[in-house]
Amino acid sequence: MSLGVCSRTNDVVEPMIKPQWFVNCNHMAKAGLDAVRSKKIEIIPQQYEQDWYRWLENIRDWCVSRQLWWGHRVPAWYVTLEDDLDKNLGSANDRWIVARNESDANLEAQKKYAGKKLRLDQDPDVLDTWFSSGLFPLTVLGWPSDTADLRAFYPTSVLETGLDILFFWVARMVMMGMQLGGDVPFQKVYLHPMIRDAHGRKMSKSLGNVVDPLEVINGMSLDGLLKRLEEGNLDPNELNIARDGKKKDFPDGIAECGTDALRFALISYTSQSDRINLDIKRVVGYRQWCNKLWNAIRFAMGKLGDHYIPPATVDVSLMPPICKWILSVLSKAVGKTVSSLEAYKLSDATSAIYSWWQYQLCDVFIEAIKPYFFNDSQELESARAASRDTLWICLDTGLRLLHPFMPFVTEELWQRLPQPKDSCRKGSIMISQYPSLVEEWSNGRLENEMDIVLDAVNKIRSLKPPTDSNERRPAFALCRGQEIAATIQCYQSLIVYLSSISHLKILTENDETPADCATAVVNKDLSVYLQLQGALNADAEREKLKKKKDEIQKLQNALAQKMDASGYREKAPQSVQEEDMRKLTALLEQLEVISEAEKKLDAN
């Protein structure tokens, strides 16, 4: 036999049958079902519509009575007449009067029991908290009064909440909003995942694995985390388990991450289905990324100078290719971010912003324009001027793009940027216009060229021996065709600088590649070589080529299997078949290039 005991007072909990107030939800539930089925309310992610149907299709009467001290009193008064017997008090259901307040209840009672002496006693129970909170969309706008706010803003546009209270809160708001407000309370419901620990376990006080957001924002030592556990009310055995868990997960405590890094990390996690397995290391990584933002602004302020005035407009056609490229990929990042936000794919938005800042602006553009500022050469003055303007545009736009996700650091950095002359720029980034896609910046051809260039740079870097990071060696680019040769020729100096090589020689298929070189295949039209001059490890090179060959063969086999499948030629669209054939041809050509490199290596 199990005996219930109060966790606070240790008193025995004795079940007692008491009268309860119920709400018949059948009609309201049907209205809620119809609202979602007709798309009058959209639930995001869409898979949770099935949970909505499951709850509301199996609706029951809702018990709204709670025997608690705190909450809204049940607005029901019992009428006691002068000649009532004490033993019958509260027993007659027809004596209850439900009204907005006691005055209205008294008026109703006087009408019903005219000429009789009576007394009103309000039910001591309080309403279920979900009943009270279900009125939220209405009451915040002044309901039940017919206010200007209610007329202007009801129904609202979006409700953001946790998926665990889809029925308990969201469904109740919809049912009561439609019943009392005459319309759905909101048009869209965005459900965020539930935060769990790094191991996927639900955060629980009894497990001792709860992570306080303030501990992540401000940081806390391991001793501080253990002290927090000891100040709780865990059972001694559970306390020991929780201690071991903290020591394992946070051997050095939790580093100070700040609000922005935590916010960005949580948003980036929203692609993880119905749960967020929160790894503090990821939050720390975004905190370190904030340092990258500071360094970008610091670099810009040094290159812009004290008297720099940003232009009102820029002519992209007159800019160097690297400036055209960064504006093109910035416009693409803006478009991706805006479309992701509109589709409530928040993690895609953070990914687009992070990739542009980290891998395109900081890793490529800022590094690429540094040679323009090595001296005051007049020959590079126009490139320097274009770089300054482009850098300012990128930082101003990039900070505004990032602001909703990292409001504090972006505000601080944006305030440090120079303002255009006669600017009507807002006093705060939070009220500035959010960026939008700029069509005239888009340049697909240039982006494709830069993709090849950056791939070549990465391949050359990968060929360097680990012990040879500072030595600049000669490199070669074997171009199979005039188009790829022209591209490499155009970006030759950029490849040399970003790859940290002494020079880059362009070879054609008729040229002999130098001996003692490590090689890498960029694509079917381009291979790169790095002269190692005695430092070449033939066995290591063979292993690299074999690994690359295995990867390509795996892709080739998968594609060939797809194309040989039954019904492929009859069912697959012609455009898909042509694209698959193009991919297969490219893979076979890459295998040919690797085979030639292997033969060359064996010959040496």
**CA pair distance 198, 74, nearest whole angstrom:** 43
Report if residue 229 sits inside a domain: yes
Q: Which residue, 375, 397, 476, 498, is CA-closest to 441?
A: 397
Give pLDDT, residue 272.
59
Instruction: Give just the sign of the alpha carbon dihedral 272, 278, 280, 284.
Output: positive
From 395, 427, 442, the end of a domain falls on 442
Q: Which of 204-208, 210-214, 432-436, 597-601 has the highest mean pLDDT?
A: 432-436
Pair (173, 199) in one structural domain: no
Report if residue 228 sits inside a domain: yes
Percent of the chain with pLDDT over 70: 95
Give pLDDT, residue 430.
94
Contacts of 8 (CB under 8 A, 6+ apart): none
Q: Which residue, 267, 204, 262, is CA-closest to 238?
A: 204
From 144, 162, 191, the end of a domain falls on 191
At residue 17 the predicted structure's pLDDT band, cuts being 50, 70 and 90, is confident
Report if residue 174 sits inside a domain: yes
Pair (509, 365) in one structural domain: no
Pair (516, 571) in one structural domain: yes
Q: The domain that contains 35 carries what CATH number?
A: 3.40.50.620
Pair (491, 431) in one structural domain: no
Pair (174, 144) in one structural domain: yes
Residue by residue, DSSP assigns 25-49 as -HHHHHHHHHHHHTTSSEEESGGGH
- Per the CB < 8 A criterion, the answer to whether 491 and 456 are in contact is no
Cβ-based neighbour number of residue 548 at 10 Å: 17
Pair (211, 312) in one structural domain: no
Q: Which residue, 451, 448, 407, 444, is CA-closest to 429?
A: 407
* Number of folded domains that form the chain: 4
Report if residue 99 sits inside a domain: no
**CA pair distance 537, 143, nearest whole angstrom:** 79
Pair (596, 566) in one structural domain: yes
- The pTM for the full model equals 0.81
- The boundaries of the domain holding residue 219 are 195-256
At residue 447 the predicted structure's pLDDT band, cuts being 50, 70 and 90, is very high
Pair (185, 39) in one structural domain: yes
Collapse the DSSP code of 181 into the 3-class scheme (helix H, G, I; strand E, B; otherwise coil) and give the result: helix
Residue corresponding to tokens 């029925």 = 167
**CA pair distance 361, 393, nearest whole angstrom:** 12
Report if residue 92 sits inside a domain: no
Q: What is the mean pLDDT of the chain?
A: 89
Check whether 534 has a pLDDT greater than 60: no
Report if residue 100 sits inside a domain: no
- Per the CB < 8 A criterion, the answer to whether 77 and 105 are in contact is yes
**CA pair distance 194, 51, nearest whole angstrom:** 16
Report if residue 536 sits inside a domain: yes
Pair (422, 305) in one structural domain: yes
Q: What is the pLDDT of residues 193-213, one digit of tens each?
A: 888 888 888 887 767 778 889
What would the mean pLDDT of 117-133 be, rounded to a whole number? 94
Residue corresponding to tokens 């033969």 = 599
**CA pair distance 460, 498, nearest whole angstrom:** 10
Contacts of 494 (CB under 8 A, 6+ apart): 322, 368, 453
Q: Characterize 281-317 residue by residue with b for buried, 16 or more Cβ atoms within 10 angstroms of its Cβ, and e for exposed.
A: ebbbebbebbeebeebbebbeebbeeeeebeeebebe
Check whether 535 has a pLDDT greater than 60: no
Check whether 422 has a pLDDT greater than 70: no
Pair (51, 185) in one structural domain: yes
Token pair belonging to 431: 């009220």
Pair (134, 205) in one structural domain: no
538-564 and 574-603 helices cross at what angle (nearest 10)?
160
- Range with lowest mean pLDDT among 39-43, 117-121, 528-532, 588-592: 588-592
Report if residue 482 sits inside a domain: yes
Q: What is the pLDDT of residues 232-251, one digit of tens each?
A: 777 788 888 888 888 888 89
From residue 441, give the alpha-carbon distance in Å to each of 209, 340, 393: 49, 20, 12
Pair (68, 159) in one structural domain: yes
Check whether 604 has a pLDDT greater than 80: no
Q: The domain that contains 326 carries what CATH number?
A: 1.10.730.10
